[in-house]
């Protein structure tokens, strides 16, 4: 199954404020059967508006840096082509999906279905009720290195979120048992059902011809009653 772990950075909290807030960065990481493929998507976007100081303090992306970047309408088709019909894995998915669909609407393109997104924030809150569920808090819980995250960045955050998502859904090697079931049951099946495969080529004998002849001479001295002389 193909999944896209995705994050955005924006100029503010609501795309339908006046003036409208816009997306300024998209980062995404591709997973195939919950294994990173190494394929990513990363794009800075000119929001065609100013950058509020509050947003700049979060991600450090300024107006001058974005001045020569493409507009969302210019990258929309490439973004949708990368996403395809893959499941979208997003932390606080309602926020990013609201912005993405606003941008797609303004670009005259169809919206992404809400049920295409999986919210890791909700997954974390169900697994650890009452505990902090921010991306930084989950990194601390799972021992994931986020030391490079001094500011928010869409691609870095999506890479970190991919690690968090794999932990939230059962660990980094979900298919270790190569069989049915999930989690603990799959691991138990691997331990109880495993059988060694036959060697493709037998090991060479470790008894020398001299040792074999000496053993035969010893057995012959014991007579017909020796256990080694019995058959069947």
What confidence tens digit (pLDDT) does each residue in 59-84 have? 999 999 999 999 999 999 999 999 99
Identify the active-site residue in 59, 91, 152, 215.
Answer: 152
- What percentage of residues in the chain have a pLDDT greater than 90? 69
> What was the pLDDT predicted at 65?
96
What are the Cα distances from residue 186, in Å, to 132, 170, 172?
Answer: 29, 11, 14
Q: Which residues pair with 27 in a beta bridge?
A: 7, 42
Distance CA 29, CA 93 (A): 15
C-alpha 90 chain-centroid distance: 11
Q: How confident is the model at residue 164 (pLDDT cuts 50, 70, 90)?
A: very high
> Which two tokens mark 107?
């670009």
The dihedral formed by the CA atoms of 82, 85, 89 and 93, expressed in degrees to the nearest 10:
100
Reported residue count of the chain is 232
Q: Which range, of 119-133, 134-148, 157-171, 188-202, averages the lowest pLDDT?
A: 188-202
Q: pLDDT tens across 173-182, in order?
A: 544 434 444 4
Q: How many CA atoms lie within 13 A of 132 on its CB side?
A: 9
Residue with the larger pLDDT of the pair 120 and 206: 120
> What was the pLDDT predicted at 115?
96
> What was the pLDDT predicted at 213?
76
Q: Are 128 and 98 in contact (CB under 8 A)?
A: no
Q: What is the pTM of this model?
A: 0.73
Q: pLDDT tens across 187-218, in order?
A: 444 444 445 556 566 656 666 777 777 777 77
> Which two tokens mark 22?
């816009």
Q: How confident is the model at residue 110 (pLDDT cuts 50, 70, 90)?
A: very high
Question: Scanning the structure block, which residue is given the tokens 């989950």?
Answer: 138
> What was the pLDDT predicted at 16?
96
> What was the pLDDT predicted at 221?
73
> What was the pLDDT predicted at 154?
92
- What percentage of residues in the chain have a pLDDT greater than 70? 78
Instruction: Please report the sign of the dihedral spanned by the C-alpha atoms of residue 198, residue 184, residue 38, residue 77.
Output: positive
2-191 belongs to CATH 3.30.420.10 = yes
> What was the pLDDT predicted at 203?
59
What are the Cα distances from residue 77, in Å, to 6, 56, 81, 94, 188?
Answer: 16, 27, 6, 22, 45
Q: Which range, of 97-111, 120-134, 138-152, averages the lowest pLDDT?
A: 138-152
SS3 state at 29: strand
* Cβ neighbours for 33, distance < 8 A, ≥ 6 positions apart: 1, 175
* 152 is known as an active-site residue: yes
Distance CA 211, CA 215 (A): 6
Residue with the larger pLDDT of the pair 202 and 142: 142
The answer, yes or no, to whether residue 230 has pLDDT greater than 70, is: no
Distance CA 15, CA 34 (A): 31
């Amino acid at each position: 199954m193909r999944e896209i772990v995705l994050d955005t950075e924006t100029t503010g909290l609501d795309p339908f404020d006046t003036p409208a807030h816009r997306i300024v960065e998209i980062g995404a990481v591709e997973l195939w059967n919950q294994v990173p493929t190494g394929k990513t998507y990363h794009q800075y976007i000119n929001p065609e508006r100013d950058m509020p100081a509050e947003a700049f303090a979060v991600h450090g992306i300024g107006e001058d840096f974005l001045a020569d970047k493409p507009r969302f309408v210019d990258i929309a088709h490439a973004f949708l082509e990368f996403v395809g019909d893959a499941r979208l894995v997003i932390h606080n998915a309602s926020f990013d999906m609201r912005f993405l669909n606003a941008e797609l609407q303004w670009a005259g393109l169809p919206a992404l279905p809400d049920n295409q997104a999986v919210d890791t924030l909700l997954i974390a809150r169900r697994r650890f009720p009452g505990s902090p569920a921010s991306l930084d808090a989950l990194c601390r819980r799972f021992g994931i290195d986020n030391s490079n995250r001094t500011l928010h960045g869409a691609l870095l955050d999506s890479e970190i979120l991919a690690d968090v998502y794999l932990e939230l859904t059962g660990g980094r090697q979900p298919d270790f048992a190569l069989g049915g079931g999930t989690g603990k049951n799959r691991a138990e099946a691997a331990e109880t059902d495993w059988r060694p495969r036959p060697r493709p080529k037998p090991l060479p004998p470790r008894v020398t011809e001299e040792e074999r002849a000496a053993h035969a001479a010893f057995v012959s001295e014991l007579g017909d009653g020796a256990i080694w002389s019995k058959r069947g």
